[in-house]
Amino acid sequence: MKKDKLKDDAETWEILMLQYSSALKEMNTKLEILNDGFIHMHHYNPIEHIKSRLKTPESIVKKLRKGGHEATVENMSEYVNDIAGVRIICSFTSDIPVLAEMIASQSDIEVISVKDYFKKPKKNGYKSYHMIVSIPVFLSDRQMRTKVEIQIRTIAMDFWASLEHKIYYKFEGSAPTHIYEELKECAQMVSELDERMLSLNNTIKDIVKNSE
């Protein structure tokens, strides 16, 4: 009996991972269509590129245990919101609210929660716009709503976040104080760079508009 239960759990786990993998594919397709439509309407590309990843079973179990939950299939669906993750990289901070609105306005997407780290950055200087959404996934015999985490950030901020991630895992969350201080200074520089690049882009658009 115990052996059969383990087999059932394994099969359920595989179905869930298929579900989240399918959700990633659907979300990527949605974003590509939205981007193509925006280019057609406005002659401008708001999305530079898209990255997606599926959390590994080991990472899911680790996150559940860290949160004080048993490593069950039910808890995986309930408590882990970032099993399927999509990162949208854009050029300018002004693209972020536009992309967020485009995503939220889709009739089959339900926005579960939003964290705006541009308005309120983390202590280490991290900036990004996070959305947890639910989308329908259609398998051969069922339809299931599935959570996907979406992060929207600029090219500059993505570069900073990539370095911060490497430092965190290199030192297992305990890097020397001076490294954290320098990283926070870099976050401020990145923020200033984003502002200057946006200002420059707006200036260029004004010049082109006035010359027409």
Query: Is residue 121 included in any domain, yes or no?
Result: yes
Residue 7 banded pLDDT, cuts 50, 70, 90? very low
- 179 belongs to a structural domain: no
Task: Indicate the number of domains in the chain.
Answer: 1
Measured between alpha carbons, how far is 205 from 23 in angstroms, rounded to an integer? 37
**Per the domain annotation, does 74 fall within a domain?**
yes
Tokens of 187: 């976050």
Residues 135-162 have pLDDT tens digits of 999 887 778 899 999 999 999 999 999 9
pLDDT category, 22, cuts 50, 70, 90? very high
The CATH number of residue 119's host domain is 3.30.460.10
- Which pLDDT score, from 0 to 100, does residue 36 have? 94
Give the domain range for residue 119: 2-156
Residue 189 lies in a domain: no
| Each residue's pLDDT tens digit, 52-93 | 999 988 888 889 999 999 888 888 889 999 999 999 999 999
Confidence of residue 133 (pLDDT cuts 50, 70, 90): very high
Q: Compute the mean pLDDT over every residue in the chain, rounded to the nearest whole number.
A: 89
